[in-house]
Structure 1
């Protein structure tokens, strides 16, 4: 995959950070199945965009 810079607006970045904070604060309230799906999605995206991620199975 070719490396490219992805530009997003400051408002979009702030919304993403607020959404992430909300998920993190309520992690224990999320059903286990949904936590697993979310964890898998985050791991997959990190692997795609960052290459092999240390500490990931």
Structure 2
């Protein structure tokens, strides 16, 4: 498995909040799915409220 750094922003109450997270995944697509799943679960967001800007392998 590889490590990926996922950066982006998500809809906050009034504005957008930026984030950066590191995820262990097999490929870039799986890393995107894990990031969307984790942020949605943690902050009660829908996938349309999350904007992934970059997925970079470390």
Q: How does the TM-score come out when normalised to structure 1?
A: 0.36
Flag the structure with more relative contact order, 1 or 2, with Cα contacts below 8 A and sequence separation at least 6: 2
**Structure (1 or 2) with the greater helix fraction:** 1
**Structure (1 or 2) with the greater strand fraction:** 2
Q: Which has the larger radius of gyration?
A: 1
